[in-house]
Structure 1
Amino acid sequence: MPQTDPKTLVSTQWLQDHLRDPDLRIIDASWYLPGTPRDPLAEYKAAHIPGARYVDIDDLSDHRSDLPHMAPPVEKFMSRMRTLGIGDGHQVVVYDGAGIYSAPRVWWLFRLMGKADVAVLDGGFPKWQAEARPVTDDAPVIRDRHMTVTRQNQMVKDVTQVAAATKLGDHEIIDARSRARFCGDEPEPRPGLRPGHIPGSRNLPYTALLNDNGTLKPDGELRMIFERAGIDLKKPAITTCGSGVTAAIVNLALERIGSTNHSLYDGSWAEWGMYGDLRVATGDN
């Protein structure tokens, strides 16, 4: 797969070349862990890629759940996108202020809703700014656009499905958290969660998939990283992390290398680590 592909990943040059395309829609999906001293909305208002709309993934979520930013109901997704002027026939490009961090979560949400013409900006806003590409503080002109959504239920897993997968061993469960958190050697950033990981899961920190400049590693290298982590790419994959954000980076990488049978455990460790009746493993096992 070429490094630029409008269904997965596009370069900063590709985006600049297409900025004036009438059916291009750009989303700033910046989000940071609680306690991080950054305000993504304030940063967006100060400077963003021309035409970009801001999406708050905490708002674009299911508020009926006590878990953080779970995937929203279809109706809420459609409503929020219509408010942003995003609909059928649009090519969507998502970026964030960390390079590649939270943007893949929104890419995954679009895929969950059956929308394929969506890509992550490789290197995100930091790379865009480092290359002195155009930025603005102007709000975009927004016109309503109808959106048709067909939810792809196979792309998301709940706790019952993940628990079954741990017993059957018929999926590769890939944990995108740091090795210290996976092993249980470091406390979780969210209070009240047990340390450790889902039994039978494999650790592949999302940072291993990225270059130092925040871009995604080339496809051939990604494949080798998965294989070195002991992941059988012939099996269907379930990704997980702390709360379902950085897990989507693994989904994006899997899609890039043609391993398309993947889903995301939306509750992730925020859910699994909370319930005492779910088994937890520590160390490398």
Structure 2
Amino acid sequence: MPDILISPNALHHALQQPGLVVLDASVELAAAQFDGDYRVASGHAAWLAEHIPTARHADLTRELADTAASYSFALPSPTEAAAALARLGIAEARHIVVYDRHEGFWAARLWWMLRSLGVAASVLDGGLKAWRQANLPLARGEQAQPGVAGSPVSLTVHPGYWANREDVLAVLDGQAPGTLVCALSKGLFEGSAVTRYARRGHIPGSLNRPARQLFDEQGRYLAPDALARALGPALVEGTQPLVLYCGGGISAAATALALTRLGRQGVSIYDGSLQEWAADPALPMTTGATPA
């Protein structure tokens, strides 16, 4: 099993090694200008303009998503995932590295998806920003993408990585053990900030652990001791299962990665998150702060 995180220099050194597959998981998600302002686009155009040499674009908006779902970025079926990953050429991969051009959340989402399907991968710590800061080379255009064999991919679905609306309701109603954790910012959690989603606020009883607080000023994950302080003992040392959510199951993936680095077990991500939950007026939401 490779380490979860890899540095830019280590990745650059590995680029010439056989069996390395680099995946750019970038997605363009515009900042909300008003409540319900949800604008998302594939990161393929930005990948064409600039990417790490040999990197292949992994499309989390379509090819690696269930586009028939009522919310964006829905987990694809194992069959759909296997077909998309085969096109990306991971069957022959000895080591997979995922990155994105933004805050690292998209890379964490793909990493968690791969992990849930029995595929080991690493995440480039700091993403494309850190790669640029290290003055490492960049490539452009389709011609920079290596040929993809498209061999069949064998996946093993591991339970416990994903939660659905019924799982969240069971925790909320006390029918199942668990702690709900919202990875959105304090403003979005409390309902004081403009939201992309149908309603402001959070699922009642949730703890708030903004995922952005898990990174340093350069966009790299904090050291383990600092991560543990940012997440708090209730998450790191507790024994209750953790159900993480955010707006679309993306920021929550960065929190899942951080918890995994600390050895925390029993972590799942609510795939639909607030994009699904807030759209149903029958499901409870609340605003304001909750105890830490």
User: What's the TM-score, normalizing by structure 2?
Assistant: 0.89
Between the aligned partners of 2:254 and 2:149, the Cα distance in structure 1 is 30
**Do the aligned partners of 2:253 and 2:269 also contact (CA within 8 Å) in 1?**
yes
Q: Deviations over 1:13-60 (max 9, x none)?
A: 211121112111000001132467987222211221111000111111
Partner residue in 2 for 1:185: 192
Between the aligned partners of 1:247 and 1:223, the Cα distance in structure 2 is 16
Q: Deviations over 1:50-103 (max 9, x none)?
A: 110001111110122121110001111111111111125531100000141211
Amino acid at match of 2:180: I
Equivalent positions of 1:104-183 (< 5 A) are: 104-115=108-119, 117-137=120-140, 138-168=144-174, 170-183=177-190
| Corresponding residue SS for 1:108 | helix
Amino acid at match of 2:273: S
Between the aligned partners of 2:201 and 2:51, the Cα distance in structure 1 is 38
Structure 1 residue 219: deviation in Å?
0.8
Amino-acid identity (%): 30
Deviates more, 1:253-262 or 1:230-239: 230-239
**Do the aligned partners of 1:166 and 1:200 also contact (CA within 8 Å) in 2?**
yes
Partner residue in 2 for 1:6: 2
**Do the aligned partners of 1:94 and 1:106 also contact (CA within 8 Å) in 2?**
yes
Amino acid at match of 1:280: M
Number of corresponding residues: 278
Q: Deviations over 1:221-264 (max 9, x none)?
A: 11111116776532221110001111100000010000022110
Between the aligned partners of 2:275 and 2:237, the Cα distance in structure 1 is 26
Between the aligned partners of 2:150 and 2:18, the Cα distance in structure 1 is 14
Partner residue in 2 for 1:236: 241
Partner residue in 1 for 2:26: 30
User: Residue 17 of structure 1: which of 13, 24, 29 is its match?
Assistant: 13
Amino acid at match of 1:180: G
Q: 1:159 to 1:232 in 2, by over 3 A?
A: farther
- Unaligned 5+ segments in structure 2 are 32-38
Between the aligned partners of 1:111 and 1:37, the Cα distance in structure 2 is 25
**Do the aligned partners of 1:172 and 1:231 also contact (CA within 8 Å) in 2?**
no
Equivalent positions of 1:38-57 (< 5 A) are: 40-57=43-60
Between the aligned partners of 2:251 and 2:231, the Cα distance in structure 1 is 16
| Corresponding residue SS for 1:87 | helix
**Do the aligned partners of 2:182 and 2:207 also contact (CA within 8 Å) in 1?**
yes
Deviates more, 1:219-228 or 1:57-66: 219-228
Between the aligned partners of 2:217 and 2:211, the Cα distance in structure 1 is 12
CA RMSD, Structure 1 to Structure 2 (Å): 2.0
Residue 265 of structure 1 pairs with residue 261 of structure 2: no
**Do the aligned partners of 1:88 and 1:148 also contact (CA within 8 Å) in 2?**
no
Partner residue in 1 for 2:34: none
Q: 1:231 to 1:198 in 2, by over 3 A?
A: farther
Q: 1:92 to 1:83 in 2, by over 3 A?
A: same
Between the aligned partners of 1:229 and 1:177, the Cα distance in structure 2 is 18
**Do the aligned partners of 1:204 and 1:229 also contact (CA within 8 Å) in 2?**
no
Between the aligned partners of 1:92 and 1:146, the Cα distance in structure 2 is 16
Amino acid at match of 1:135: L
